[in-house]
């Protein structure tokens, strides 16, 4: 690189920190008051003061990772240093009050549960396999026993109903505790897991839904899916992004700043072009790139000859360019397209090389997500969490 991009302002950094969720306390670290002073030098060295509820908190490593990778996303950042501190008893009790309030109010600003890991599948252009990747990762994660939400954000070019074999109409229903009717996602069991899917391909012009979707705009539709869907519990939310346009990405960044991007590319797509777009998007929206998937990689025929029909090296080059891991290379396989057309993504049970790559990527995603059991190691917070649970959650109310 020639000119180094300008460093972010302290406010920019605070915006990025809003994407860092303390999963145990159910809110972002800025709202919780854990983020303290932020300084940025002209050379792009960022120092962030973070106060933990107690110093030995087991979530420290995760919070550190999360902060570093979010803030390093900004191209003008050269170094991230965290200045750790510990809250006073008074500060701790303030945080707990906030956590209580969050628990009572249903935590997040959207209807997406705060503990769900949100992954948006995006690319520089259409036709590279975003939807195929979304569908296959969804079934592969579900096959691990996870509950996986799928939001088809390709409002006009939806493919989730076809690819997941779920075309039933969405229902809107009144749910206790909400004044507006809520959209109920379509469900499908996969192995021990569950898919919960919403797509504009599942809408019908009956009265309740027509009202809800009147004056539909791209970003508004996604906003409604984030706000008005009764997701219930989710381990993951996968978002199949529309091609091109940054509007949806920007809306998502505003509403769900903890969204991580998975960028799909082909072996032949110019890594630099995609990287520039991704970096540009990251700069404007502060979304983190969790990794790159190369799709339509070399096709291997039954005689074991390999044909790089669509070129080679695009995924690795893009990953290197944006400093994100290359999660996998999915070969070209007629079975991938067939599975999509039949509503049976091959990653659920198939044994082909492509199916294995999808499952391997799903495994990497699971491995990089801290399971709830590991969060419950912090006794001071656990004691408070129990108190929160007892005080604010009447049995069976929280979903």
Min. distance of Cβ 126 from Mg ion in angstroms? 7
Give alpha helix (H) positions in the chain.
10-17, 60-72, 89-105, 130-143, 160-163, 207-213, 218-227, 246-255, 271-285, 314-322, 334-342, 353-367, 372-375, 379-392
Q: How far is CA 342 from CA 180, 299, 336, 346, in A?
A: 35, 21, 10, 10
* Contact between 265 and Mg ion per CB under 5 A: no
**Complex with Mg ion: residue 29 or 262, whichever CB lies closer:** 262
**Complex with ligand ADP: residue 28 or 266, whichever CB lies closer:** 266
* Contact between 200 and Mg ion per CB under 5 A: no
Min. distance of Cβ 58 from ligand ADP in angstroms? 39
Structure token pair of residue 140: 């592969």
* Contact between 244 and ligand ADP per CB under 6 A: no
Q: Which of 128, 150, 238, 262 binds ligand ADP (CB under 6 A)?
A: 128
Coil, strand, or helix at residue 318? Answer: helix
The number of beta carbons lying within 10 Å of the beta carbon of residue 285 is 22
* Contact between 112 and ligand ADP per CB under 6 A: no
Torsion angle defined by CA atoms of residues 251, 279, 200 and 196, in that order, rounded to the nearest 10 degrees: -90
**Complex with ligand ADP: residue 78 or 300, whichever CB lies closer:** 300
CA Rg, the chain, in Å?
A: 21
Given the rule CB under 5 A, which of 39-47, 147-155, 322-330, 374-382 is the region that contacts Mg ion?
147-155
* Contacts (CB under 6 A) with ligand ADP, residues 316-335: 330, 332-333
**Complex with ligand ADP: residue 67 or 354, whichever CB lies closer:** 354
Instruction: Decide the pairing of beta strands 147-152 and 236-240.
Output: parallel
* Contacts (CB under 6 A) with ligand ADP, residues 347-366: 354
* Contacts (CB under 6 A) with ligand ADP, residues 139-178: 159
* Contact between 127 and ligand ADP per CB under 6 A: yes
Burial class (CB in 10 A: 0-12, 13-18, 19+), 390: exposed
* Contact between 110 and Mg ion per CB under 5 A: no
Cα 372 versus chain centre, distance: 17
**Complex with ligand ADP: residue 87 or 160, whichever CB lies closer:** 160
Site size toward ligand ADP (CB under 6 A) is: 18
**Complex with Mg ion: residue 134 or 147, whichever CB lies closer:** 134
Q: Which of 62, 110, 131, 249 binds Mg ion (CB under 5 A)?
A: 131
DSSP, residue by residue, 71-126: HHTSTT--EEEEEEEE--HHHHHHHHHHHHHHHHHTSSSSSS-TTSEEEEEE-SST
Min. distance of Cβ 345 from ligand ADP in angstroms? 10
Structure token pair of residue 26: 């159910």
* Contact between 295 and ligand ADP per CB under 6 A: yes
* Contact between 136 and Mg ion per CB under 5 A: no
369 binds, among ligand ADP, Mg ion, none (CB under 5 to 8 A by kind): none
User: Rounded distance, CA 268 to CA 309, Å?
Assistant: 9
Q: How far is CA 127 from CA 130, 162, 243, 268, in A?
A: 7, 16, 8, 13
**DSSP summary character for residue 369:** S
Pair 48, 81: CB distance under 8 Å: yes
Q: Which of 92, 117, 130, 277 binds ligand ADP (CB under 6 A)?
A: 130
Min. distance of Cβ 227 from ligand ADP in angstroms? 24
**Complex with ligand ADP: residue 225 or 286, whichever CB lies closer:** 225
Q: Which of 200, 209, 340, 369 binds ligand ADP (CB under 6 A)?
A: 340
Min. distance of Cβ 350 from ligand ADP in angstroms? 12
Rule CB under 6 A: which residues touch ligand ADP?
123, 126-132, 159, 295-296, 330, 332-333, 336-337, 340, 354
């Amino acid at each position: 690189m020639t000119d180094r991009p300008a460093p972010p302002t302290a406010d920019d950094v605070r915006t990025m920190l809003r994407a860092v969720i303390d999963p145990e306390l159910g809110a972002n670290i800025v709202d919780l008051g854990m983020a303290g002073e932020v300084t940025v030098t002209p050379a792009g060295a960022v120092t962030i003061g973070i106060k933990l509820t107690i110093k030995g908190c087991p979530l420290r490593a995760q919070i550190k990772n999360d902060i570093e990778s979010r803030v390093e996303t900004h191209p003008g950042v050269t170094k991230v240093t965290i200045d750790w501190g510990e809250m006073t008893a008074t500060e701790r009790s303030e945080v707990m009050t906030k956590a209580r309030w969050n628990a009572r109010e249903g935590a997040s600003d959207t209807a997406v549960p705060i503990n769900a890991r949100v992954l948006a599948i995006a690319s520089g252009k259409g036709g590279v396999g975003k939807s195929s990747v979304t569908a296959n990762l969804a079934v592969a994660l579900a096959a691990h026993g996870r509950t996986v939400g799928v939001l088809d954000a390709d409002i006009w070019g939806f493919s989730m109903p076809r690819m997941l074999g779920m075309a039933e109409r969405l229902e809107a229903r009144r749910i206790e505790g909400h004044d507006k009717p809520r959209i109920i996602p379509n469900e499908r069991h996969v192995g021990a897991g569950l898919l919960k899917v919403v797509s504009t391909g599942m809408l019908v012009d009956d009265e309740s839904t027509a009202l809800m979707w009147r004056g539909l705009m791209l970003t508004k539709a996604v906003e409604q899916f984030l706000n008005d869907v009764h997701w219930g519990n989710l381990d993951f939310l996968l978002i199949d992004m529309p091609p091109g346009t940054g509007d949806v990405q920007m809306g998502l960044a505003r509403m769900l700043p903890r969204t991580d991007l998975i960028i799909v590319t082909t072996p032949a797509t110019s890594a630099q072009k995609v990287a520039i777009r991704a970096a540009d998007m990251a700069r404007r929206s502060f979304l983190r790139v969790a990794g790159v998937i190369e799709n339509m990689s070399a096709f291997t025929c039954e005689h074991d000859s390999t044909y790089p029909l669509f070129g080679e090296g695009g995924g690795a080059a893009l990953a290197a360019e944006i400093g994100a891991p290359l999660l996998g290379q999915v070969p070209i396989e007629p079975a991938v397209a067939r599975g999509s057309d039949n509503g049976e993504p091959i990653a659920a049970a198939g044994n082909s090389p492509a199916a294995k790559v999808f499952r391997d990527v799903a495994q990497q995603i699971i491995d990089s997500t801290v399971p709830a059991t590991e969060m419950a190691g912090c006794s001071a917070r656990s004691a408070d969490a129990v108190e929160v649970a007892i005080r604010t959650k009447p049995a069976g109310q929280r979903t």
